[in-house]
Amino acid sequence: MSRRLPIDFRTAVVYQIYPRSFCDSNGDGIGDLPGITARLDHLQALGVNVVWLSPIYASPQDDNGYDISDYRAIAPEFGTLADFDTMLAAMHQRGIRLMMDLVVNHSSDEHPWFQQARSSRDNPFHDHYIWREPRRGADGERQPPTNWEAAFNGSVWEWNEPTGEYYLHMFSRKQPDLNWENPRLRGEVYDIMRFWLDRGVDGFRMDVINMISKPWRDDGSLPDAPVVRPGFLQPGFAQSCNGPRLHEFLAEMRREVLDLYPGCITVGEAPLATVEEGRALTHPDTGALNMLFQFEHMDLDSVGGHVSGKWALKPLNLRDMKRTMQRWQDALDGQGWNSLYLSNHDQPRPVSRFGDDSPEHRVASAKMLGTWLHGFQGTPYVYQGEELGMRNVAFDRVEDYQDIEIRNYWRTAVLERGEDPATVLRSIHAKGRDNARTPMPWQAEAPHAGFTCGTPWLPLNGDWPQVNAQTALHDPDSVFHHYRRLIALRQQHPILAMGQTTLLLPEHTAIYAVLREWQNQHWVIVTNWSSAVHEVPFPSEWTTRPAQLVLGNLSARRGLGDERHRGPTEIKLSDLQLQPWEGLIVSLG
C-alpha cells in the first residue's frame, strides 16, 4: 500500500477533482481513475500539495456519487481498486497527498444497510437510519413528522410502507440520513475510514459533517422549521445542523480513528456554521478537525441568504464580503483554521459569479480573484478548471442539465408554482451546479477537448477551443501560470498562510485591501473588483513607507513572484491606481 506523506495542512494548497468530469480514459464519456492518473503532471506543474477527490464509491449516481451503496468498492464507471492504488501511488510519487470524500450523513437507499433497515422495524439494521411516526392533520390524513423542505425540494420525509414509518432524507429521497445516535453505526463508519487510511489515503473531506447530530427534543421528536413563506414546507437546513452531540461524535471519531493515523488531513463541510462552531470544530488543541468549509460568504449574493435559497439572485455587495471574511479571519486567528474557496462541485464558476467573464476581462478577473483568495490566512482550495479561468455554461434547454438539484428546482418552480421559465433559467445559468461540472478542457484541437473520445456525459463549455489546459500551459500570462506563481509564493513565504489579517478601506465599494503581518513582515494585498480604474486611498501613514511589488496579475506590473522579473520593483502607494480587475501583493518596508 502507498505510504502516507507528512504535510502541514496550513501551508498546503488543495486541488479538488470531480472525477466524472476530469478525464475519460476509455471513451465511455465519463471521467475515471486512469484518466486522473494520466493527467497528474498538470497538478504537479501547478504545484498543489493535496488532492480532494469527490466520491468514486459504488453508487446509483442519483446525486452523482454522493449517494453511496458500497463504501469499500469503486464505481465501475470510475475503475477498480487496482486503478485506485495505481493512481494513489502516482500521486505520492509526485509529492501529492489524497483526501477522499467521506459521505456519512447519509447513504444510498440501495445500500445493503438500508435495504435491510426498511424491511422491518425488528431488523438489526433498522436503527442505522432515522425513522418517525406520521402526524395526523385536522382531517385525520397522514402528514410528515415535520415541515422541513429537503435541499433538493420536497419533504425531507419519505413514507416506507413495510414499516409504516417515514425515514429522514435531508437531500434526495434516495439519500436516507444515517442515525449517528446508534453506536453500531458509528463503529461501521470508523471501520470504513480505517479501510481507506490503511490503503494509504492521507485524509478526508467530510461531507455536511455538522449535520450528523440532529437537534432532537427530549421526547425524541424534531422541531418544525419557522414559517417564512406560504405553504407547508419550510427551509429545514437550520433545524438539522450543529446538533447537541456533534462535538461528542467527532471527538469519538478523532479518538477511535484520526489520532491513530498521524498526518491525517481533515476538513469538514459545515453548512450554517457560526464562527463559534468553527473555532470549536478546528481549535488546534481541542477541535476534532483540521479545518472547515463554512458557507457564509457564499450566501451573500442570494436574497435572504440560505433562508430563501440560492436561486433568488442579488448583486454582491463587496462591503458584505469584507465584513464576512474579516469576521472569520479574526475569529479563527490562532484558535482554528479555515478553508479558502470560491468554487467547488456545488458552486458556479467564480469568474462568472464574482468577476467579469467577458473576453476583455476574463483572464484579469480570474487572476485577481485568485490573488485575493490566496491572500488570506487559511488553506486555499482550487477547483478543477478554476486555474484556467473557466466560465459558467448557459445551456438553452433545461433538459441539457443533468444535476438533480437543477431538475427538481425547475419542476418545483415552473411546473408546480408556475414561475416564469425564463427567470428560472437565468437563476440556473447563474447558480446551477452543472456550471462547475462541464468536462475539463485539455486540448485546443482534439475531439471534445481531449476529455473523451466518446460522447461526454455533460456537454463541454463552448469556449473550450480558447479556454483549455494546453493553451494555458504555453501562455506565460495565462490564469494557470498566475495560479502557479501564487501557490509557489504561499509555499515560500509563511506570511501568506500564517500572517494576521487586518481589513483596510472597509467601506470602499470596489477596492478590497488587507494587511498581512507575520514576524516583522508586512504585506498588503489590494484588489480591484470592478471594470473601472480606481485610485486606492491609502491613509497617509502608509503612503510614505517604501513598498516593493511581490506579484501582480497584469503584465504591466509583474513583481518578484513572477520568475520572468528578477529585479526589485518599487511601487508608490501615494498615487496607486488599479486597472480593471487588477490585484497586487505588495511588501512594505
Q: Are 513 and 326 in contact (CB under 8 A)?
A: no
- Show the cell assigned to 253: 471519531
Has 535 been annotated as catalytic? no
List helix spans (H) across 301-389: 318-332, 350-353, 362-373
Q: How many CB atoms lie within 10 A of CB 4?
A: 20
C-alpha span between 167 and 160 (Å, rounded): 7
C-alpha span between 498 and 370 (Å, rounded): 18
Maximum Cα interatomic distance, the chain, rounded to a whole number of Å: 81
Q: Which of the following is catalytic: 149, 158, 207, 299?
A: 207
In the chain, the amino acid numbered 1 is M
- Show the cell assigned to 244: 447537541
Total residues found in the chain within this entry: 589
Tell me how far CA of residue 13 lies from CA of 221, 489, 556, in angstroms.
42, 11, 27
Q: Are 239 and 271 in contact (CB under 8 A)?
A: no
C-alpha span between 554 and 364 (Å, rounded): 7
| Cβ-based neighbours of 171, under 8 Å, separated by 6 or more | 63, 66, 106, 150, 151, 152
- Show the cell assigned to 39: 493527467
Q: Which of the following is catalytic: 32, 149, 269, 299?
A: 269
How far from each other are the two terminal CA atoms of the chain, in whole angstroms? 49
- b vs e for 526-565, b when ≥16 Cβ sit within 10 Å of the residue's Cβ? bbbbbbeebebebeeebeeeebebbbbbbeebbbbbbeee
Tell me, rounded to whole angstroms, the distance of Cα 334 from its chain centroid: 23
Has 269 been annotated as catalytic? yes
Q: Are 289 and 268 in contact (CB under 8 A)?
A: yes
570 DSSP 8-state letter: B
Tell me, rounded to whole angstroms, the distance of Cα 568 from its chain centroid: 37
Active site residues: 207, 269
